[in-house]
Amino acid sequence: MNKESKIYVAGHRGLVGSAIVINLKSKGYTNIVTRTRTELDLKNSEAVKAFFEAEKPDYVILAAAKVGGIVANNTYRADFIYENLMIQNNVVHQSYLQGVKKLLFLGSTCIYPKNCPQPMKEDYLLTDVLEYTNEPYAIAKIAGIKMCESYNLQYGTNFISVMPTNLYGPNDNFDLEKSHVLPALVRKIHLGRALEKNDWKTIQEDLNKLPIENVNGESPQEIIIEKLADYGIVKTQNGAVHVEIWGSGKPMREFLWSEDMADACVYLMENRNFEDTYAQNCKEIRNTHINIGTGEDISISDLATMIKKVIGFEGDFKFNTEKPDGTMKKLTDVSKLNALGWKHTVELEEGIKRQYQWYTSFN
């Protein structure tokens, strides 16, 4: 890519997309094209067609997607498969029609089987059944991988697929109903600490920034306490505070700082092509996607303890074993990524400190 190349970043306001835009700008790229959801509905084929015909981007980074945690994935199953399929079908197909030089498609490591051997290699794709709670989303992302591969093989395009592990960082989603585990724990433990300190100013500021359902910082204290309890932030009659965590706390998860993820994406766009993603002597070209992660994992229980230490919460955790754990272990094999020349730099505790600082300072 040249510094003047026109680069369309789809999903530039999200966790990954915003980090990619910042990374590109820091490296001197000056012609970055973005559109908000209200400006361009990526589910609308005609709108996407008109956009590509007018803008004719040289490069495309497809970070736009409908994403969420276990609750959202399991509740809005039709929305997750429909919206993600529509977004990627429109953007990938128009990228082919308009002669885009290179496209980067972002998925997720939830594409791998529920009981996948660990660590998860790219070659384990489609070898067993998926985790039920996020099956629709995973199928959409698998379709995206195969779409990129198929266009490359039939039309000679240069579309690369990357599958990041669990991401966290600036611009993360802290909605307690729809967020992923790490930002949800950060917010719950932050509110738990404020509650145990009777720090109502902090609680009110938090709820004014991000109301929980219809409860904000102006709501009566008794209503706020009830709503926090609904989401597992509980103050008992003796004044002690505990935070409820879904599941047993035993599942192992891997986490990657979003700015590291962005750096990996830009690195691959600058330095690698589709032909670098598979062995040149293979008869069948498949599993060309690239895992992006750290290759290191931690239990949810230990993650919560790490966040507790960073925030200074003194209360306890209660694990609700009636709630689902999801897959017990999800660790990526990042040897392919490392062989292509990239490795993460931000370790988990440092990343949590950065995310908490961002969360408590954003308006």
Task: Report the sign of the C-alpha dihedral through residues 150, 151, 152, 155, in that order.
Answer: positive
Mean pLDDT of 91-114: 96
Catalytic residues: 137
- What was the pLDDT predicted at 231? 95
- What was the pLDDT predicted at 164? 96
Residues found in the chain: 363
Q: Identify whether 156 is part of a domain.
A: yes
pLDDT score of 363 more than 70: no
Q: Identify whether 75 is part of a domain.
A: yes
Q: Identify whether 222 is part of a domain.
A: no
Q: Identify whether 114 is part of a domain.
A: yes
Q: Identify whether 49 is part of a domain.
A: yes
Quick check: 61 and 19 in contact, CB under 8 A? no
- What was the pLDDT predicted at 128? 97
Q: Identify whether 208 is part of a domain.
A: no
**How many domains in the chain?**
1
Q: Identify whether 342 is part of a domain.
A: yes
pLDDT tens-digit series, residues 221-274: 999 999 999 999 999 988 899 999 999 999 999 999 999 999 999 999 999 999
CB count within 10 Å of CB 100 equals 22
Q: Identify whether 139 is part of a domain.
A: yes
- What was the pLDDT predicted at 263? 98
CATH of the domain at 271: 3.40.50.720
In the block, which residue shows the tokens 């008794």? 222
Domain membership of residue 99 as a residue range: 7-171+255-295+331-346
Whole-number Å distance between alpha carbons of 137 and 118: 21
Residue 48: is it exposed, middle or buried by C-beta count within 10 angstroms (0-12/13-18/19+)? buried
Strand partners, 255: 166
pLDDT tens-digit series, residues 113-149: 989 999 999 999 999 999 898 899 999 999 999 999 9
Quick check: 323 and 247 in contact, CB under 8 A? yes
